[in-house]
Amino acid sequence: MTTALENPELSELDVSDLELWKDGPPHEVFRELRERPGLHWSDLGDFPDEGGFWSIVRFDDIATVGRDHETYSSDRSIILVDHLAPEGQPDPIDLSANMLISQDPPRHDRLKSLVQRAFTPKRAQEHTERMREIINLVWDRALGEHPDGRIDLVQDVGVYVPSMVIGDMLGVPREDADRLVDWTNRTTAFEDPRMVPDLGEVWRALEEFIPYVDAMIKEREETPTDDLTSAVIEAEIDGEKLSHDEVLMFFFLLMVAGNDSTRAVFTSGMKSLMEDPEQMELVRSGAVPLEQVVEEFVRFHPAFAYMRRTATRDAELAGQEIAAGDKLALWYVSGNRDATAFDDPDVFDVRRDPNPHQGFGGGGRHFCLGAGLARLELKLWIEETLRRFSDIELDGPTERMRSTFLNQWSNIPVSVTGR
């Protein structure tokens, strides 16, 4: 296999090496890859039996791949590996067959159409005041536990708001938020040994999660309510409904995507505001609409660093020959910093407009189904946080999640002063 990159040192680099990511996405590496012709091949050193992958780092190339589902498939896995368990053992990735995010048309389109009947913008808007209530409930609880105002923005606040918002829509009791957070962390943070000491932990989390959701779905099938779970179960097109397993995996996808995405974007975006008093004042003063602020949060800090595609046939991209079966990583963290698409791309600026970022995907069939809900939740979260506190500032060393997939912080100590 050949690569058009000529720098020997760069061509031998494994972009998935976690050492490159210990301080966050390796933006200098991505900048150099964007500027060189062709594509970069990595051998996926931590999973030598999995084969390597092409890094898609330019804004336009990401969009091209994202919109061509016939050549670049989402089937099997959205991460760079096809297996998380040894042969013969239960593998969490096998469950993804019923997940919307890892399917291609026509099955993807059928599932998405059914889900959209239930997961509507109107339903999200109807939860506006309940979202505000949850945001303030979580802040109240955090301050109750830390009356001196010194809290961890991620662990005391960030992990709870999204799980309670999504859980509330799905009909999960709020007192189960801790369990949802735990299951989410153990299934998505598989690269961080502090969260997942061994890959078997991913399956053990699913063994706890699946019976919980299974029982909830069966209960709604027998006694429907007005929550999203019931709406998804009852959604129908031409007499066809989602299967029980499809409802279960949609529940799982919504919990995982809803938890990790808004948690990562809010906490990272607030950190950027705290590091730049001018930007913070622009937001506090109302000089920039919060809707616009949210877009820059998502551009500068996309929750997921990449999504994977797999070539279904031989193809050519950016002058590089790609073989059928090759894996491609669509690096949104790179596309969102591409100077051909954004002025001063490495500058966090809430005044940026227009802002055609790829934080909700690079376009095509897999544009994020929950983008509207995420935007609304982030807007309310920023609004309520700045309304409550006259001052919020960093208050100690921050720590990153060890991951090439999850683009987020695990700890952000802050000090808040109420009004």
Q: Looking at residue 327, what is its pLDDT?
A: 97
Contact call for residues 228 and 242 (beta carbons, < 8 A) = no
Verify cis geometry, omega within 30 degrees of 0, for the bond prior to 354.
yes
Per-residue pLDDT of 32-43, as tens digits, reads: 999 999 999 999
| Domains by residue range for the chain, with CATH | 8-418 (1.10.630.10)
**CA dist., res. 130 & res. 115, Å (int):** 22
Per-residue pLDDT of 216-265, as tens digits, reads: 999 999 999 999 899 889 988 778 888 888 888 888 888 877 788 999 99
Spatial neighbors of 61 by CB under 8 A, at least 6 apart, are: 39, 317, 318
How many other C-beta atoms are found inside a 10 Å radius of the C-beta of residue 123?
16
pLDDT surpasses 80 at 17: yes
Per-residue pLDDT of 358-400, as tens digits, reads: 999 987 778 888 888 999 999 999 999 999 999 999 999 999 9
**CA dist., res. 53 & res. 309, Å (int):** 10
Cβ-in-10-Å burial (0-12, 13-18, 19+) of 60 comes to middle
Confidence of residue 1 (pLDDT cuts 50, 70, 90): very low
Tell which wins on pLDDT, 122 or 324: 324
Exposure letters 300-324 (e unless 16+ CB within 10 A, then b): bbbbbbbbbbbbbeebebbebebee
Report which of 144, 143, 179 is spatially closest to residue 159, judged by C-alpha positions: 179
Spatial neighbors of 6 by CB under 8 A, at least 6 apart, are: 36
CA atoms within 13 A on the CB side of 373: 26
Tell which wins on pLDDT, 73 or 126: 73
Residue carrying structure tokens 């699946």:
210
- Beta 306-311 vs 40-42: how paired, if at all? unpaired
Q: What is the DSSP string of 1-50?
A: ---S---HHHHT--TT-GGGGBTBS-HHHHHHHHHSSS-EEE--TTSGGG
Report which of 304, 263, 276 is spatially closest to residue 411, judged by C-alpha positions: 263
On average, the pLDDT of the chain sits at: 91
Question: Please, what's the largest Cα pairwise distance for the chain?
Answer: 63
Identify the bridge partners of residue 311 per DSSP, sorted by sequence position: 72
Report which of 269, 225, 260 is spatially closest to residue 370, judged by C-alpha positions: 260
- Beta 72-73 vs 40-42: how paired, if at all? unpaired
Q: Looking at residue 194, what is its pLDDT?
A: 81
Contact call for residues 363 and 63 (beta carbons, < 8 A) = yes
Q: Looking at residue 7, what is its pLDDT?
A: 56
- Beta 399-400 vs 389-394: how paired, if at all? unpaired
**CA dist., res. 330 & res. 66, Å (int):** 8
**CA dist., res. 338 & res. 135, Å (int):** 34
Q: Looking at residue 4, what is its pLDDT?
A: 45
Percent of the chain, pLDDT > 90?
62
Out of 95-104, 147-156, 337-346, least confident range:
95-104
Per-residue pLDDT of 46-105, as tens digits, reads: 888 888 999 999 999 999 999 999 999 998 788 999 888 777 777 778 877 677 888 888
> What dihedral angle (degrees, nearest 10) is formed by the CA atoms of 367, 372, 377, 378?
60
**CA dist., res. 116 & res. 133, Å (int):** 26
Query: Is residue 85 classed as helix, strand or coil in its secondary structure?
Result: coil
Per-residue pLDDT of 254-308, as tens digits, reads: 887 778 899 999 999 999 999 999 999 999 999 999 999 999 999 999 999 999 9
**CA dist., res. 5 & res. 11, Å (int):** 6
Per-residue pLDDT of 174-216, as tens digits, reads: 889 888 888 888 888 878 888 777 878 888 888 899 999 999 9
Out of 141-150, 164-173, 396-405, least confident range:
164-173
